[in-house]
């Protein structure tokens, strides 16, 4: 009976059972005066500490770096200390809590490590593969397909070729094909980095040495700590059926860009600092390092307007051995890189903040461009600041000692409002309304602006594409879906003149000098119509000469995805077409300008993202590459 | 691993469910069994049986509190085993606890057998207690903790715990009498 009654305790509700779990100590009830006193004291102390924590004001001045005055990197430390300090938004913790705005600090780890120093002689020397303005074939070895910005400065791409083979980078796989017209076949397929699938694959690209024996892949992947890492892999492709790895170089950081010129490779990467772990007593936390060694202080360039705690690291490598022959770190984020025959131009944008007469804050976008000479080591030549921001690398050009730059200039007026995170429509309209385009010419001896045409576009327009060609500059600006295209005559900097098309439908995201005074624009006619248009200069202005449109079509704005053949007047690119009445189409089109019209020669189905598709015309055949897809068509 | 995931493993008949449950609640169940059985071997066997019973119970059961669910299974098994294995050999300590609890029955009358009625009664009574008294009561008569263990874990003196238990038992007895469902 007793046991039976005792078993009724099983009927106790689970919440009481959990409440009374023995390892949970119920709050002791102090009975003794000493205990009460101790508790009261603790409570008072806690209250004092809490008040201190709540109301102690945040520091409003950057921390001093004078403790490192004797350090060789003191200028860097001083700069980083100011850069990484953020002025508190609130006066103290109490202010912060009541406004309910937690602060998130973006953490990024930065370290540059080089592994696998130069191995034995590996053969395969990169030479200048371009001869003259247009792509032309060497007698042996590689033939350039990529429409490089500067003749003689090769840019990496997803496709390169020799007389016999085509090398195509499909994701993380290198595919090799024979060039044999309709009999062409895939000869080999090499998965790189174990066939890694990662979200950096869209940045992978490759070079081919002049003698066609070496493919160098610029790869990027996340390491075991999920930090980006650049991997330069040199492959011996002498026998495409048996491809072997010759050299490898690994650098922590993001891949920005690269060039090959005169047998040397210029590699630009980005190195981001982790503010949370940065410690000036530990060099590895705030300096780029190569092979475990911190970069020399003399190699670190500190721009006046540094605005972010990250470096652009520039390295010069021997293409054969991947040995490092020079390096420099430029403190600040470089969005665009332009490389001429003698210089590297690093551009970064910052905001010039002023107060206007009404007391409103006005922000003007400004671009600081730093010029580095790279032929014999790296040397800073100078820098210049221009109004506005640049669109891409094509917005800069060096010609006969003058740097020409085209920018979108804008001024944003920000009115303080009660809801500090709310940007009113009025503010946005103001911001858009002050956009325009400007052209600047900078003397590379003095780094002073010697000529300019400011705000030449209709109000509220932005630069969509730029192309320089000797004394001529072509600029397309637009607002919404209409643009003028401008032709600038830069032959006399004291009297720069220009003509334009007037406002026309659509805009061009890329402009291509197509020879014979014709300009090819690649872009959109409206939000869903692809357009390729030929422009030419007339006595009075610029006119659209002919165009090709494709309705309900999308294309890639990656310039390297276009096949530009000036000799044969061909344009090839990937498109995707979605139509309400038509079957969806994903493929590749080849257009030909016959002097009168843009004619569609091919429209072929090809799988994959438009940005990764590539094509090349060789001896009457068009070879087209997509994701897991390859087509050859007779043209 | 979260309770919900462990329950899901049981539901999907994944053998790792037992491993995970043991990892998370093995010690707890062992302690529940040991206080009743005071035997390491018996307690371990009880815990093993707990996983076996849990495997059979889920599905269809999907307990809201897995720990309490498993603890309840273990306790029942321990009490069963105590009655079976120790006929003639008694756990004096447990006997004391049962004797105390028996004092709650009004006038030593036969308690009703309707589990639903009893459940409402017992939980209704517990609801009306202040937290400290309730915790002491449940620790004593569900977890079968000693007065010393209760006092130590709650920062109280043993006499305080004893007095609290005594008063709570009396209240429980009055409560049961007031409810008037005794046969």
How many residue pairs from chains A and B have C-beta atoms closer than 8 A? Answer: 102
Distance from CA of B84 to the nearest CA of A (A): 12
Q: How far apart are CA A107 and CA A126, in angstroms?
A: 38
Tokens of B64: 């809201």
Contacts of B156 in chain A (CB under 8 A): 28-29
pLDDT tens digits, A158-189: 999 999 999 999 988 999 999 999 999 999 99
Computed on alpha carbons and rounded to an integer, the radius of gyration of chain B in Å comes to 18
Omega into A397 within 30° of 0, i.e. cis? no
Does A11 contact B119 at a Cβ distance shorter than 8 Å? Answer: yes
Tokens of A19: 């409440």
Question: With an 8 Å Cβ cutoff, is A87 touching chain B?
Answer: no
Q: How confident is the model at residue A413 (pLDDT cuts 50, 70, 90)?
A: low
What pLDDT shows up at residue A134?
Answer: 28
Contacts of B135 in chain A (CB under 8 A): 19-20, 26
Mean pLDDT of B37-59: 89
pLDDT tens digits, A203-220: 899 999 988 999 999 998
Mean pLDDT of A599-612: 93
Q: How far apart are CA A249 and CA A230, in angstroms?
A: 8
Does B123 contact A13 at a Cβ distance shorter than 8 Å? Answer: yes
B182 has pLDDT over 50: yes
A73-93 per-residue burial string, b: 16 or more CB within 10 A, e: under 16: bbebbbbbbebbeeeeeeeeb
Reduced to 3 states (helix: H, G, I; strand: E, B; else coil), residue A181 is helix
What spatial distance separates the first Cα and last Cα of chain A, rounded to whole Å?
Answer: 101
pLDDT tens digits, A235-253: 999 999 999 999 888 887 8
Mean pLDDT of A501-506: 75
Name, in order, each residue with C-beta under 8 angstroms of A432's C-beta and a sequence gap of 6 or more: A460
Does B155 contact A15 at a Cβ distance shorter than 8 Å? Answer: no
CA neighbours within 13 Å on the CB side: how many for A98? Answer: 7
Distance from CA of B13 to the nearest CA of A (A): 25
Q: Highest mean pLDDT range out of A93-102, A269-278, B63-72?
A: B63-72
Q: How confident is the model at residue A101 (pLDDT cuts 50, 70, 90)?
A: low
Distance from CA of B55 to the nearest CA of A (A): 20
Q: How confident is the model at residue A278 (pLDDT cuts 50, 70, 90)?
A: confident
Q: How far apart are CA A460 and CA A470, in angstroms?
A: 29
The lowest-confidence range among A208-212, A323-327, A427-431, A504-508 is A427-431
Give the mean pLDDT of chain B. 85
A31 has pLDDT over 60: no
Name, in order, each residue with C-beta under 8 angstroms of A224's C-beta and a sequence gap of 6 or more: none
Q: How confident is the model at residue A112 (pLDDT cuts 50, 70, 90)?
A: very low
A446-466 per-residue burial string, b: 16 or more CB within 10 A, e: under 16: ebebebbbebbbbebbbbbbb
Question: With an 8 Å Cβ cutoff, is A17 touching chain B?
Answer: yes
Q: How confident is the model at residue A582 (pLDDT cuts 50, 70, 90)?
A: low
The lowest-confidence range among A170-174, A536-540, B144-148 is A536-540
- Residue in chain B closest to A12 (alpha carbons) equals B123
What pLDDT shows up at residue A481?
Answer: 65
- Residue in chain A closest to B69 (alpha carbons) equals A14
Q: Which of B108, B135, B163, B169 has the highest number of chain A CBs within 10 A, making it the mutation to test binding with A?
A: B135
What pLDDT shows up at residue B135?
Answer: 94
Comparing A118 with B126, the larger pLDDT belongs to B126
Does B153 contact A17 at a Cβ distance shorter than 8 Å? Answer: no
CB A215 within 8 A of CB A160: yes
3-state helix, strand, coil in chain B (%, to 5): 75, 0, 25
What pLDDT shows up at residue A424?
Answer: 43
A155 has pLDDT over 60: yes
Q: How many beta carbons lie within 10 A of that of residue A236, not counting itself?
A: 17
Q: Which of B99, B122, B153 sits opposite A2 (nearest CB)?
A: B99
Distance from CA of B115 to the nearest CA of A (A): 8
Q: What angle do CA B140, B143, B146 make, to 5 degrees?
A: 45
What pLDDT shows up at residue A291?
Answer: 59
Q: How far apart are CA A589 and CA A603, in angstroms?
A: 4
A438 has pLDDT over 50: yes
Does B101 contact A5 at a Cβ distance shorter than 8 Å? Answer: yes
Contacts of A15 in chain B (CB under 8 A): 65
Give Cα separations from A326 to A245, A296, A318, A634 (angstroms).
24, 11, 10, 47
Mean pLDDT of A508-535: 89
Q: How confident is the model at residue B110 (pLDDT cuts 50, 70, 90)?
A: low
Question: Which of A318, A325, A320 lies closest to A122 in space, CA to CA?
Answer: A320
Q: Which of A6, A11, A18 sits opposite B118 (nearest CB)?
A: A11
Comparing A482 with A376, the larger pLDDT belongs to A376
Q: Which of A4, A9, A19 sits opposite B135 (nearest CB)?
A: A19
Contacts of A17 in chain B (CB under 8 A): 68, 71-72, 138, 142
What pLDDT shows up at residue A425?
Answer: 40
Contacts of A29 in chain B (CB under 8 A): 132, 155-156
CB A301 within 8 A of CB A380: yes
Does A5 contact B118 at a Cβ distance shorter than 8 Å? Answer: no
Scanning the structure block, which residue is given the tokens 């009457």? A620
> Is 0.95 topped by the overall pTM?
no
Does B138 contact A10 at a Cβ distance shorter than 8 Å? Answer: no
pLDDT tens digits, A327-365: 888 887 677 889 999 999 988 887 777 777 777 777 788
């Amino acid at each position: 009976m007793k046991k039976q009654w005792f078993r009724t305790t099983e009927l106790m509700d689970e919440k009481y059972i959990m409440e009374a779990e023995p390892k949970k100590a119920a709050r002791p009830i102090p009975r003794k005066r000493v205990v009460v006193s101790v508790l009261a004291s603790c409570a008072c102390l806690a209250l004092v500490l809490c008040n201190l924590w709540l109301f102690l004001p945040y520091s409003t001045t950057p921390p001093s770096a004078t403790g490192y005055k004797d350090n060789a990197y003191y200028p860097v430390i001083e700069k980083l200390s100011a850069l990484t300090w953020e002025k508190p938004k609130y006066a103290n913790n109490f202010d912060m809590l009541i406004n309910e705005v937690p602060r998130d600090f973006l953490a990024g780890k930065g370290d540059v490590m080089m592994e696998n120093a130069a191995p034995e002689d590996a053969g395969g020397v990169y030479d200048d593969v371009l001869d003259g303005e247009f792509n032309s074939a060497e007698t042996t070895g590689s033939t350039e397909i990529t429409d490089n910005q500067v003749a003689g400065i090769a840019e990496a791409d997803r496709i390169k070729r020799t007389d016999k083979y085509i090398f195509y980078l499909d994701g993380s796989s290198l595919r090799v094909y024979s060039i044999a017209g309709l009999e062409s076949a895939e000869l080999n397929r090499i998965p790189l980095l174990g066939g890694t699938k990662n979200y950096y694959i869209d940045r992978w690209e490759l070079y081919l040495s002049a003698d066609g024996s070496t493919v160098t892949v610029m790869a990027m992947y996340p390491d075991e700590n999920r930090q980006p890492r650049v991997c330069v892999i040199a492959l011996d492709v002498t026998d495409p059926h048996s491809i072997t790895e010759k050299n490898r170089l690994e650098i922590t950081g993001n891949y920005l860009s690269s060039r090959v010129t005169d047998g040397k490779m210029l590699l630009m990467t980005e190195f981001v600092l982790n503010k949370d772990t940065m410690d000036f007593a530990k060099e590895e936390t705030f300096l780029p390092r190569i092979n475990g060694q911190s970069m020399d202080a003399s190699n670190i360039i500190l721009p006046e307007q540094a605005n972010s705690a990250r470096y652009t690291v520039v390295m010069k490598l021997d293409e054969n051995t991947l040995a490092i022959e020079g390096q420099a770190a430029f403190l600040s984020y470089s969005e665009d890189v332009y490389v001429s025959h003698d210089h590297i131009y690093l551009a970064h944008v910052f905001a010039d903040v002023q107060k206007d007469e009404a007391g409103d804050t006005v922000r003007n976008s400004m671009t600081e461009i730093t010029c580095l000479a790279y032929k014999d080591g790296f040397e800073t030549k100078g820098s210049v600041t221009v109004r506005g921001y640049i669109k891409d690398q094509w917005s800069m050009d060096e010609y006969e000692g003058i740097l020409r730059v085209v920018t979108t200039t804008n001024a944003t007026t920000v009115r303080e409002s009660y809801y500090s995170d709310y940007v009113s429509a009025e503010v946005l309209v103001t911001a858009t309304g002050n956009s325009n385009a400007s052209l600047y010419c900078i003397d590379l001896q003095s780094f002073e602006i010697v000529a300019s045409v400011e705000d030449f576009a209709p109000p509220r327009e932005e630069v969509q594409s730029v192309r320089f060609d000797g004394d001529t500059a072509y600029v397309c600006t637009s607002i919404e879906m209409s643009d003028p295209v401008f032709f600038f005559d830069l032959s006399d900097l004291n009297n720069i003149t220009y003509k334009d098309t007037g406002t026309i439908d659509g805009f061009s995201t890329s402009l291509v000098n197509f020879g014979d005074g014709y300009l090819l624009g690649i872009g959109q006619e409206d939000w869903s119509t692809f357009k390729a248009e030929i422009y030419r200069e007339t006595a009075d202005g610029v006119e659209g000469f002919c165009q090709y449109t494709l309705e309900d079509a999308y294309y890639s704005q990656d310039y390297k995805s276009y096949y530009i053949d000036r000799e044969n007047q061909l344009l090839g690119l990937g498109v995707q077409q979605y139509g309400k009445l038509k079957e969806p189409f994903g493929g590749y089109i080849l257009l030909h300008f016959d002097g009168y019209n843009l004619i569609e020669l091919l429209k072929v189905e090809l799988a994959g993202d438009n940005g990764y598709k590539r094509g090349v015309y060789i001896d009457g055949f068009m070879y087209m590459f997509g994701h897991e897809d390859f087509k050859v068509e007779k043209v | 691993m979260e309770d919900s995931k462990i329950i899901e493993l049981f539901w999907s008949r994944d053998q790792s469910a037992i491993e995970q449950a043991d990892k998370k609640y093995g010690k707890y169940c062992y302690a529940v069994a040991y206080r009743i059985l005071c035997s390491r071997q018996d307690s371990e066997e009880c815990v093993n049986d707990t996983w076996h019973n849990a495997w059979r119970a889920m599905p269809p059961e999907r307990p809201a509190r897995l720990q309490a669910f498993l603890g309840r299974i273990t306790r029942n098994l321990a009490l069963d085993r105590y009655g079976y294995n120790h006929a003639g050999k008694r756990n004096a300590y447990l006997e004391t606890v049962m004797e105390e609890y028996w004092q709650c029955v009004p006038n030593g009358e036969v308690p009703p057998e309707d589990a639903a009625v009893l459940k409402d009664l017992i939980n209704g009574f517990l609801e009306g207690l202040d937290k400290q008294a309730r915790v002491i009561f449940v620790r004593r008569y569900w977890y079968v903790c000693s007065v010393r263990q209760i006092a130590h874990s709650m920062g109280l003196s043993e006499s305080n715990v004893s007095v609290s238990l005594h008063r709570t038992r009396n209240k429980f007895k009055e409560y049961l009498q007031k409810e008037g469902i005794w046969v």
